[in-house]
A = this chain, B = another copy of it.
Amino acid sequence: MADLSTCPPLTRVSVKAAHERIKPYIHRTPITTCETLNQIASTPQCERCTHTGPNIASEPAPHDHNINGNVSSYTAAPNVRLFFKCENQQRIGAFKARGAFHALGRLIEEEGIESVRRKGVCTHSSGNHAQALALAAKTHNVPAHIVMPTISTPSKIAGTKSHGANVIFSGSTSDEREAVIREVIANTGATLVPPYDHPDIILGAGTQALELEQQVDDLLTQQPDLGITGKGKLDAVIAPIGGGGMLSGICTALHGTRIKVFGAEPNVEGANDAEQGLKQGKRFEKVSTLTIADGLRTPVGAIPWSIISDKEKLEGIYSVTEEQIKAALKVLMERAKMFVEPSAAVSLAVVLYNESFRQMVQREAGDKGWNIGIVLSGGNTTMEAIAKLFAAPEKAEERAEAKVGVNGERKAENVAG
């Protein structure tokens, strides 16, 4: 990996330079809008759940309607227009391609292609970063060694192998993974390309924000009649946070503009380490959760933390329950026809169901409302995984048993995205 001391500063200018570097290798993914989701998002939760109102979302609103007996606490009606950045249609099916192509490009620039090809690159990842680095390495004809936990989704292992990477298996704890990656480095001399905790990854990931900003401007300028009631430009962006590479990249890209940046996080089993960390003023170094948002099971990295904990760069982080993520996933697929992985639904879940977030938007945006960019971070899930998530209710108990069962998965510590 490029030496930290030689990395470009974490600024909007550096994100623009990163964008120029990776443009030939990545897709400029489309943005999309959905009238129905705008309508749902702008309607109070009470009015769209089966408890009291006409049921726009065709399902029970995933909030506890009787919390403290106070029904009126779910009445925020922010006026929002949503713009989805479809990184699920990025190469390898997730935004991770941006960071991987940028990091490898910088490494080649610094060390020379001959040296990089001789040494190769390596990483440890159970998911999208593995496939992204494998693709970038193949593109530049560089050997790649990827350490993956044996419990990784078979389709992700197959995807990584299909790009010609050398896949080495490990246990699923951080200690087990790190032991194997040390061995790989000792044997091959390969350079480690970490999944998120590096400036080159952060700058690469931030490039999607530049596209989103421009695409929303273009859309609102060229198609003022597309059924969107408000005008203007992008007001805010909300993106999920796991290791924090993407969110800190977006903060970096948009710092100095008028666009506000928010983070979205699952909160089951302490998965909201970033939200809690900001409250307590310290970074959590370990997280142990098996949230369905499997891309967000990691603690925030040190460099991302230094960015997101800066109040001038990030407005705040909001978290949601597993049921809320599932409900957002359902409407994204059924209504907007976007095929995404659960991690990609977390931002929309905050917009639809986190009442604190909704109240804040209503207060800040007023009648004029906000144009909100929502990052759909990836689409790498399977029909079988969806079938498990949405199986008929009578199967719920079986699944609960399976969840804590085999392989001691629940105890797994997750350190890489």
Which B residues are in CB contact (< 8 Å) with A340?
Answer: 337
Which B residues are in CB contact (< 8 Å) with A382?
Answer: 330, 334
Q: Are A334 and B158 in contact (CB under 8 A)?
A: no
Q: Which of A376-417 contact B (CB under 8 A)?
A: 379, 381-384, 386-392
A115 sits at the interface (CB 8 A):
no
Bound CA span A32–B155, Å: 23
**Contact A88-B337, Cβ < 8 Å, known A387-B392, A392-B384:** yes
* Residue in B58, B88, B155, B387 whose CB lies within 8 Å of A58: B155
* Residue in B58, B383, B392 whose CB lies within 8 Å of A333: B383
Bound CA span A55–B383, Å: 17
Contact with B along A14-37 (1 / 0, CB 8 A): 000000000000000010100100
Q: Are A390 and B386 in contact (CB under 8 A)?
A: yes
Which B residues are in CB contact (< 8 Å) with A30?
Answer: 30, 32
Identity of the chain B residue whose Cβ is nearest the Cβ of A333 in the assembled complex = B339
A89 sits at the interface (CB 8 A):
yes
Contact with B along A325-355 (1 / 0, CB 8 A): 0000110011111111000000000000000
**How often does this chain occur in the complex, in copies?**
2
A220 sits at the interface (CB 8 A):
no
Tally of chain A residues near chain B (CB < 8 A): 38
**Contact A89-B337, Cβ < 8 Å, known A158-B55, A390-B386:** yes
Bound CA span A335–B380, Å: 8
* Residue in B91, B93, B339, B384 whose CB lies within 8 Å of A339: B339
The smallest C-beta distance from A83 to any residue of chain B, in angstroms, reads 14
The smallest C-beta distance from A279 to any residue of chain B, in angstroms, reads 34
A56 sits at the interface (CB 8 A):
yes
Which B residues are in CB contact (< 8 Å) with A155?
Answer: 58, 334
The smallest C-beta distance from A134 to any residue of chain B, in angstroms, reads 14
* Residue in B35, B334, B337, B391 whose CB lies within 8 Å of A338: B337
Can you offer 11 A-B residue contacts whose CB atoms are under 8 A?
A56-B162, A58-B155, A86-B337, A88-B337, A330-B382, A334-B383, A337-B339, A386-B386, A387-B388, A387-B389, A387-B392
